[in-house]
Amino acid sequence: MNKVSIVKCQNYEYDEVKKVLIDSFNNIGGIDKLVKKGMNIALKPNLVMALPPSKAATTHPVLIHALTDLLIDQGAVVSIVESPGGPYIKTSLKGVYKTCGLQDLTNKTKLTLNYDLDVEVVKIKDGLLLKKIEILKPLIDADLIINLPKLKSHGQMSYTGAVKNMFGAVPGAKKAEYHMRMAQYDHFANAMIDIFLSTKPKLSIMDAVVGMEGNGPSAGNPRKIGFIGVSENAFDLDYACLHLVGVKPESIPIIEQGIKRELCSSSIDQIELCGSDLKDIKKITDFDIPEKDMLNSILFSDNKLLKLFSKWIKPKPVFSSELCVGCQICAENCPVKIITVKNHDPEYDVNKCIGCFCCQELCPKQAVTVKRLPKSVQSTLNTAFLISPIIISNLTFWKKKK
């Protein structure tokens, strides 16, 4: 059984976060087991875009600060390595580091912010869809990668956590290529898993003190969750975190595919949850997260009738001309290049939309929301989609019998 440490953490006070991290390391066997003197350690946070910590879209700087101090005390050299959404260039990185509160950390602790833009092609031994991929070279060169995800809802994949956070190991605009090539949710989930396997972080630390629900991963609502999760197995960490926020883990494409590939536990009973205050952590029952769209595969069907049907029911981005400032970021980052912005009024071809919602994720003014069917209607359609093969099979059987 893989260990997942869950320790209660009520706020981002430095002393409390540091104590929680010490307890968490002890729960999984101690910091000495992983960190050795002289190690070059790369921290991979979630810095989706330039947003302040109060928005709960990025890994909180206090968690990074406390962790960095613990690692330096062990004699390690620590750096932040990340490729946020949008172009992977130094000016963009500087803006993200500053707004997310990491630039200030360099004055408080011996933390280095990476500006090395080199990439390297690596082969993925266990890749299902991807056999080789370009990865940030500073991650490849590190002796140890520590993954620092944020617990958030996600417009396309329902949830973003530990496994998906390593998508940031792919440089800038290359991310759009995977959205375009593997737009079906299950395909994209497997691509995320392949990318995770290419980096193989030894440890994942989930920032779930304050997470994000609703219109995530960048424009949702902060939600106090109240814990920090730590595990050497990112899949089981995601599974446990989803369980604690009341979301069925198997409903999340990455977890579903992870179970199929035998990388993830298929039951919470198969995971060893540890932490002295587990009983004090209340399970959330109303966490607002988009339901998986079971009809996504229809978009890529050759059946014209099904495609026409999907046009009316699929989730779609909605642009606010009142909030839009005409920055063109949505158009520049759309993988299929179907967005045009005229007079602060974005337009797009709904028939060609692949539902990646990069426009919503990267909009700096939160001028994009995702319009979905009511959850009750979506659940009914999902159920119908799941049982339709059974109905068709039975009808075929009775027709042959007759």
Assess if residue 76 is contained within a domain: yes
| Same-domain status, 238 and 90 | yes
**pLDDT tens-place string over residues 180-212:** 888 888 999 999 999 999 999 999 999 999 999
| Same-domain status, 167 and 301 | no
Q: Which of 213, 248, 280 is the last residue of a domain?
A: 280
Tokens coding 346: 């974005």
| Same-domain status, 298 and 274 | no
378 pLDDT more than 70: no
pLDDT of residue 379: 66
Do the beta carbons of residue 355 and residue 335 sit within 8 Å? no
**pTM for this structure?**
0.89
395 pLDDT more than 50: no
| Same-domain status, 163 and 33 | yes
**φ/ψ of residue 135, rounded to 5:** -125, 150
Band (392; pLDDT cuts 50, 70, 90): very low
| Same-domain status, 84 and 233 | yes
Kindly report the CATH number assigned to the domain that includes residue 330. Answer: 3.30.70.20
Assess if residue 397 is contained within a domain: no
Residues 376, 381: Cα–Cα separation, whole Å: 9
Region 72-101: mean pLDDT is: 96
Report the range of poorest mean pLDDT among 162-176, 300-314, 332-346.
300-314
| Same-domain status, 272 and 336 | no
Band (386; pLDDT cuts 50, 70, 90): low
| Same-domain status, 122 and 100 | yes
Residues 124, 164: Cα–Cα separation, whole Å: 16
Please state, for a pLDDT cut of 90, what percent of the chain lies above it: 75
Assess if residue 289 is contained within a domain: no
**What are 319's strand-pairing partners?**
368
Mean pLDDT over the full length of the chain: 90
Q: Which of 228, 247, 280 is the last residue of a domain?
A: 280
| Same-domain status, 115 and 72 | yes
Domain limits for position 131:
2-280
- List Cβ neighbours of 301 (8 Å cut-off, separation of 6 or more): 307
Band (343; pLDDT cuts 50, 70, 90): confident
Assess if residue 400 is contained within a domain: no
pLDDT of residue 280: 86
Name the domain count of the chain.
Answer: 2
**pLDDT tens-place string over residues 88-110:** 999 999 999 999 999 999 999 99
| Same-domain status, 235 and 323 | no
Region 47-65: mean pLDDT is: 97
Band (350; pLDDT cuts 50, 70, 90): confident
Kindly report the CATH number assigned to the domain that includes residue 49. Answer: 3.40.50.11440
| Same-domain status, 234 and 352 | no
| Same-domain status, 276 and 303 | no
Assess if residue 386 is contained within a domain: no
Q: Three-state DSSP class for 129?
A: coil
Q: Three-state DSSP class for 362?
A: helix
393 pLDDT more than 70: no
| Same-domain status, 74 and 150 | yes
Tokens coding 91: 């000016």
Do the beta carbons of residue 314 and residue 351 sit within 8 Å? no
Region 332-351: mean pLDDT is: 90
Assess if residue 140 is contained within a domain: yes
Q: What percentage of the chain's residues is helix, strand, coil (to nearest 5)?
A: 40, 20, 35
pLDDT of residue 307: 57
Assess if residue 130 is contained within a domain: yes
